[in-house]
Amino acid sequence: MRKLLAFASFCIAAIFFSADETTAQTTVHHVKPGETFWTIAKNYNVSLLELQRINHKQTDVLFVGETLRIPQPISQADKDLLARLVHAEAKGEPYAGKVAVATVVLNRVDHPNFPNTIREVIYDRSGGYYAFTPVQNGEINKPADREAYRAVEEAIAFRGLGRGSLYFYNPKTAKSEWIRSRQVTVVIGNHVFAK
């Protein structure tokens, strides 16, 4: 009988949580007055959508004292790498453009046609050349500024809420006709973002 109950409990857990959720979710948070999904996601460096998804929330309503499971955060090494890319790619661009560059990388991580880690997306050479110019010319090895780090944090917190941009380019310097054929999602500063 005990074995049957243990098996039933395991099956119920498997229905509600995927394998990666049950093993990766070790952090819990008790909601405090004034907190929102946005502030909690930003505090833990996780995606707002992922925070809602793993807690089976379809609205923004939170209750004081409620317990939330916190998804695995992005590593500091990956945030550093992403911030260096943002700094190199979007130097001189508006802050929103820096957030959008970081968002493109996160969207690629989440998209089935691209590698599934930040590092692999940034160093991707599937087309025979690096996807990002700063990797090719070494600019990615230079330190990022505070604004690039802040843009990365914001992109992580809003992960999945954008317009699905997978590419960006400067129309004044882009030579590829293929990139120009992509559906434009937004134009920020000197960059066109597309999917």
Give ∠ CA 105-158-61 in degrees, rounded to 5.
155
Residue 134, CA atoms < 13 Å, CB-side half-sphere:
19
What is the pLDDT at residue 146? 97
Dihedral pair phi/psi, residue 16, rounded to 5°: -85, -25
Domains with residue ranges and CATH for the chain:
2-70 (3.10.350.10), 76-194 (1.10.10.2520)
> Band of the pLDDT at 127, cuts 50, 70, 90?
confident
Asked if the model's pLDDT at residue 25 lies above 50, the reply is no
pLDDT for 118 equals 95
At residue 172, the 3 state secondary structure works out as: coil
Q: What is the pLDDT of residue 13?
A: 33
**What mean pLDDT is reported for the chain?**
85
**Is the per-residue pLDDT at 6 higher than 60?**
no
DSSP 16-64: HS-HHHHHH--EEEE--TT--HHHHHHHHT--HHHHHHHTT--SS---T
- Among 64, 65, 40, 62, CA closest to 51: 40
